[in-house]
Amino acid sequence: MRSAVAIAVLACAFALAPGSAGIAQEACVEPAVPAPVDGAQVSEEQMRAAAAAARNFIAQSDVYQLCLANVLDAAKTQAAADGKPLDIALESTLRTKAEANQKVKERVGLEINTAIGVYKQTHLK
């Protein structure tokens, strides 16, 4: 998990080189959403794997959102240096992506916490 996060951070850093706003935006890769699980139907091993997948997704989402914020900051800096206004469409797109990912991140957290609660009620009586 840490290596995936490190690779994502490095990709963001390389993408934020001057003059690469388009490339930078492409380097911000939204993580895949883990499948929800039914805590009543999974084994302990499956529950542990699902919890790990949710934690990994949340960590990768944090990196993704940071990457988007860095792209926006770089675009603002470049626009100021060029004496031009910030591209409103770029700003809107980046903010929309970050907000959408945050909602998914919150949903994944709620789903795994619910699944863990159900698992405990079902299997640990």
Q: What is the pLDDT, as a whole number, of residue 54? A: 98
Burial of residue 30 (number of CB atoms within 10 Å: 0-12, 13-18, 19+): middle
Residue 124: phi, psi to the nearest 5?
-115, 50
SS3 state at 44: helix
pTM: 0.79
Distances from the Cα of 2 to the Cαs of 40, 60, 98, 120, in angstroms?
30, 9, 21, 28
Q: What is the pLDDT of residue 30?
A: 97
**Token pair listed for 49:** 């794997």
Can you give the pLDDT at residue 20? 47
| Percentage of the residues of the chain whose pLDDT score is greater than 90 | 76
Residue 113's identity, in one-letter code, is N
20-56 per-position pLDDT tens digit: 455 555 789 999 999 999 999 999 999 999 999 999 9
User: In degrees rounded to 5, what are phi and psi of residue 7?
Assistant: -65, -40
> Residue 68 above 50 pLDDT?
yes
- Give the pair of three-digit tokens for residue 90: 């770029």
Q: Residue 21 is encoded by which pair of tokens?
A: 């706003």
Per-residue pLDDT band for 71 (boundaries 50, 70, 90) equals very high
> What residue spans define the domains of the chain?
2-123
Model confidence at 17, in pLDDT bands (50, 70, 90)? Answer: very low
Kindly give the interhelix angle for 44-82 and 2-15, rounded to the nearest 10 degrees.
10
**Would you give the DSSP letter of residue 17?**
S
Residue-wise pLDDT for 87-105, tens only, equals 999 999 999 999 999 999 9
